[in-house]
Amino acid sequence: MTSAPDPAAELRPLDFLDIDGLLSDEERDIRDTVRGFVRERVVPHAGDWFEEAAIPRELPRELGRLGVLGMHLEGYGCAGTSATAYGLACMELEAGDSGVRSMVSVQGSLAMFAIWRWGSEEQKRRWLPGMATGETVGCFGLTEPDAGSDPGAMRTRARRDGGDWILDGRKMWITNGSIADVAVVWARTDEGVRGFLVPAGTPGFSAPEIHKKLSLRASVTSELVLDGVRLPADAVLPEVSSLRGPLSCLNEARYGIVWGAAGAARACFEAALAYAGERTAFGKPIAGTQIQQQKLAHMALEVNRATLLALHLGRLKDAGRLRPEQVSMGKLGNVNAALEVARTARQVLGANGISLEYPVIRHMNNLESVVTYEGTADVHALVIGGALTGVQAFR
């Protein structure tokens, strides 16, 4: 016989379904450590970073000291945490700002994972320890001006020249590009799609920064230009020669987005809940009106549902059972839910909803990038549709 719930145990508005109780002590400790860092280092400054379209150059090293760079990888100075712990860190980072979580995702789940999974032992020893501390920054060059959702259409090519490789092409929308010490660049070769490690300063390689963004402004976004870049034979990642290489990295990053989107949604909901309790209209707090309570209830629903979905996928990943199609469902559902929460929260805040004194408009703008990168919402819907029907609509 099950016991009745303790009537003295109050519901917590910010953890309505007691998801905290589903976490281990270690997972809560990691989450709380990252949450404390975000509240102290990111939240007070994120609005200014967004307005100035800048992010501190020392932040990668601070994130390295925090231990979140490549934290889910084993060895080479990486923490080797569970996938769920890494997800919780992503949730807290994106509750601060999507640009900060993007920096960590690109460093750990794209650049570092590519080297860790597909690199040689020498490459791992050379690059990963410094990347784990943030002393070395990496970026990931896959997307091109005319090849976003269809990476198989990439035009960047690499050809052999004696014992060397020569790379020519362009990559676009590359997070960390202009501050990276090394770029993982994917190119077509006569042997298939190969990954190359391109150190900053290599002749013929440049990374001009992209400006005039209205989303992810607290993040460095660049183009990568490769004009006759000569690399030695040991610059190529030896363990893969197909799109399986970059797609495996993208799946790692998408997993982090599933959690991150839940964090952004939570931050918007928290701001709306607090504001509704403080803002008075017609003689009482707007939290006491039916229409605002309905908005708050729907936001709470989406935040809790998104967090539960992320946690479930984290448990599947830790058990070795997570499929890419399930990650697509998580990204599609959670980012769309986060966008809806952000837009609803903006309405609750009224005119203050467009002010950078509150986090809502910043998250709302950032999520317009998150819904597109690492696979657009349309592409993830087709991935799920193909899994459901057995028919691939985009091939």
- 218-268 pLDDT, tens digit each: 999 999 999 999 999 999 999 999 999 999 999 999 999 999 999 999 999
Query: What pLDDT, on the 0 to 100 scale, is given for residue 305?
Result: 98
260 and 385 in a single domain? The answer is yes
- Is there a domain that residue 351 lies in? yes
Burial of 369 per CB tally in 10 Å (0-12, 13-18, 19+): buried
- Is there a domain that residue 222 lies in? yes
Give the CATH number for residue 113.
1.10.540.10
Last residue of a domain, one of 211, 241, 271: 241
206 and 232 in a single domain? The answer is yes
- Is there a domain that residue 156 lies in? yes
249 and 232 in a single domain? The answer is no
Query: What pLDDT, on the 0 to 100 scale, is given for residue 146?
Result: 86
Residue from 92, 144, 223, 374 carrying the catalytic annotation: 374
384 and 252 in a single domain? The answer is yes
Among 205, 212, 314, residue whose Cα is nearest residue 255: 314
Last residue of a domain, one of 98, 118, 133: 133
Distance (Å, whole) CA 105 – CA 380: 19
Query: What pLDDT, on the 0 to 100 scale, is given for residue 7?
Result: 57
Token readout for 87 is 């997800």
- Is there a domain that residue 3 lies in? no
Query: What pLDDT, on the 0 to 100 scale, is given for residue 386?
Result: 96
250 and 229 in a single domain? The answer is no
223 and 248 in a single domain? The answer is no
290 and 370 in a single domain? The answer is yes
Question: Which amino acid makes up residue 25?
Answer: D
Q: What is the pTM of this model?
A: 0.96
326 and 280 in a single domain? The answer is yes
SS3 194: strand
- Is there a domain that residue 14 lies in? no
- Is there a domain that residue 203 lies in? yes
SS3 57: coil
Query: What pLDDT, on the 0 to 100 scale, is given for residue 4?
Result: 62
Give the CATH number for residue 307.
1.20.140.10
Q: Is 374 a catalytic residue?
A: yes
* Cα angle 103-104-107, degrees, rounded to a multiple of 5: 85
Query: What pLDDT, on the 0 to 100 scale, is given for residue 149?
Result: 82
Q: Which residues neighbour 33 within 8 Å (Cβ) at sequence distance 6 or greater?
A: 66
Domain count along the chain: 3
Query: How remote is the C-alpha of 358 from its chain's centroid?
Result: 22
Residues lower than pLDDT 50 in the chain: none
124 and 57 in a single domain? The answer is yes
Beta strand 182-189 with 280-281 is unpaired
Query: What pLDDT, on the 0 to 100 scale, is given for residue 152?
Result: 84
Residue 47's domain comprises 19-133
Give the CATH number for residue 188.
2.40.110.10
166 and 201 in a single domain? The answer is yes
Last residue of a domain, one of 241, 262, 295: 241
SS3 185: strand
- Is there a domain that residue 173 lies in? yes
Among 8, 375, 48, residue whose Cα is nearest residue 218: 48
123 and 161 in a single domain? The answer is no
- Is there a domain that residue 2 lies in? no
267 and 373 in a single domain? The answer is yes
